[in-house]
Structure 1
């Protein structure tokens, strides 16, 4: 079967079987308002479409197919998805995730880089187990070959051009909030590779530092890849990995990067230049609010502190 025929077949299958996208023609929707929503109640968590109703999102809804699943941790599955040839996104963005037979639309940040999509035609999502229907489906029913559909959204992304001024990136992550920041870190590493190939004449990335906090090393997602990237560009990329409830010894290869306890003010101060730092924050709401205040106290302008609070 040709690629074109495969995607045409996928679109027809999704149109017939998905109650979440009534009236879908090919892979276009009028927008989020075209999706039927239930009335909210005090017992129901506000769903993704409602939380992000004021955010940018594309009109295009693209069919896709799961091509790989792995356990990233005891509570997180990493899903690899073959994307439609016209699908594109910016590092840090999320997708509306439509599942045939599941009424609730999921919302998941991509944890892969745009470069992986360009090279291999796939995107990756890392989804923590919950009883929320889309996450529950991924952990209990999703399989290689499962057909879904995705629509890109979000105003939280890093997409520099070679003409942009020099920047120091500060990436602050808590728990599964690492997903969009890992995408940004991978994208940054990809841009640094381009700089190497051009002799440093392209993207003006001075440095990128990641502060990432989780309960324990098991829940530090992507830790090996993060450390590998930092070792590949030791003068450009660095990280501090924090564990707040570690009850076992830390593996020796991780020890140089591990800090016990939460991200500290002293650590942040060392990586803040009010004139050049651009900070991306993603994690629990109390963490975002506390760290944002600290950064502003250090003189970092509010418009250089970027975050989302929709999960």
Structure 2
């Protein structure tokens, strides 16, 4: 990614919104591209100049997120968006609801490059909402943990309703079955905020199940989904009530275990049937591994991801059926 920045001004119903856009945003794309603003219509951005791949990789202004994902798929389009809802998902995580342009699309499990006016570093956050919510309401959701990293810090200290940002979709970690695909059983393994893309996948699976039921099984062939989710304590379990609700509504399809490693307070009664003390065990994974049917998605800290992947291989799950996202 070239990081020569163009500071541009959008006119939005009489207000000026300054947004910094990286000029070399598409390494192999055209030298100008178009953004869409709900208020201002289509806006043409022209880069200052193109650089070689080696020059881009050596740029001192390359951000951590862009470095980590330089080899990943990215869409060409960058869309302005607006924060329309905010809620505290836990003491350390804020959930954003964001209005996006009608042409904005993504697959369950993907992330966005998150551009903030006046903040040089680019955020990288997985969507926690499903493509179905986007289709129904025109919004996406991100759950972002407080941190010193400037984009996350901005979310927790500056971001407000009406704040303007820009989003670009990327990532090779997703679940996007076709109606003609054979059924698979999903095993979802999450650690901490690594639940975000997996919750998107779980919600998407629920949407597809409802579509299949409505069509009498003529559309999507959806198997089961089991979630293993590890966190320090129950307060840090994101989306726990919605996950439990899905398991209760579709007990023959969804199941979950919450693994708690540092719980001090008593576990709430409604959570007890789903909570296990300690880390995710090989025995639990083995109960949900079928080498012919299981497709596993893992997202969490690298040591956890590596250990879980090794265990799954030892249990006979083929390497191409173990998909993972490592972010930190």
The aligned counterpart of 2:149 is 132
Would the aligned equivalents of 1:20 and 1:104 in 2 still touch at CA under 8 Å? no
The aligned counterpart of 1:21 is 22
Q: 1:232: Cα distance to partner?
A: 1.0
Structure 1 residue 287 and structure 2 residue 318: aligned?
no
Shift in alpha-carbon separation, 1:254–1:114, aligned structure 2, 3 A: same
RMSD over aligned Cα, in angstroms? 2.5
The aligned counterpart of 2:60 is 39
Following superposition of structure 1 onto structure 2, how do residues 16-165 of structure 1 map, counting pairs within 5 Å? 17-22=18-23, 26-27=34-35, 38-39=59-60, 47-165=64-182
Distance 2:94 2:116 in 1: 16
Would the aligned equivalents of 1:171 and 1:209 in 2 still touch at CA under 8 Å? yes
Q: Deviations over 1:205-259 (max 9, x none)?
A: 1200000000000000000000001111110011011110000100001100000
Q: Deviations over 1:35-83 (max 9, x none)?
A: 898527xxxx961011100000011000100001110000000000001
Would the aligned equivalents of 1:175 and 1:219 in 2 still touch at CA under 8 Å? yes
Structure 1 residue 249 and structure 2 residue 266: aligned?
yes
Shift in alpha-carbon separation, 1:190–1:102, aligned structure 2, 3 A: same
Distance 2:56 2:100 in 1: 22
Q: Which has the higher strand share?
A: 2
Distance 1:231 1:118 in 2: 25
Structure 1 residue 306 and structure 2 residue 317: aligned?
no
Distance 2:15 2:167 in 1: 14
Q: 1:297: Cα distance to partner?
A: 0.3
Deviation >3 Å, runs of 4+:
8-14, 22-26, 28-38
The aligned counterpart of 2:249 is 232
Q: 1:85: Cα distance to partner?
A: 1.1
Structure 2: any 5+ residue segments left out of the alignment? Answer: 1-9, 25-31, 36-43
Would the aligned equivalents of 2:63 and 2:122 in 1 still touch at CA under 8 Å? no
Shift in alpha-carbon separation, 1:132–1:228, aligned structure 2, 3 A: same
- State the secondary structure of the residue aligned to 1:206: coil
The aligned counterpart of 1:4 is none
- State the secondary structure of the residue aligned to 1:185: helix
- State the secondary structure of the residue aligned to 1:18: strand
TM-score relative to the length of structure 1: 0.90
Q: 1:12: Cα distance to partner?
A: 11
Distance 2:295 2:255 in 1: 15
Would the aligned equivalents of 2:78 and 2:168 in 1 still touch at CA under 8 Å? yes
Q: 1:309: Cα distance to partner?
A: 1.6
Q: 1:11: Cα distance to partner?
A: 11
Q: 1:295: Cα distance to partner?
A: 0.2
The aligned counterpart of 1:182 is 199
- Aligned residue pairs: how many? 299
Shift in alpha-carbon separation, 1:10–1:308, aligned structure 2, 3 A: farther
Shift in alpha-carbon separation, 1:175–1:13, aligned structure 2, 3 A: farther
Q: Which has the higher helix share?
A: 1
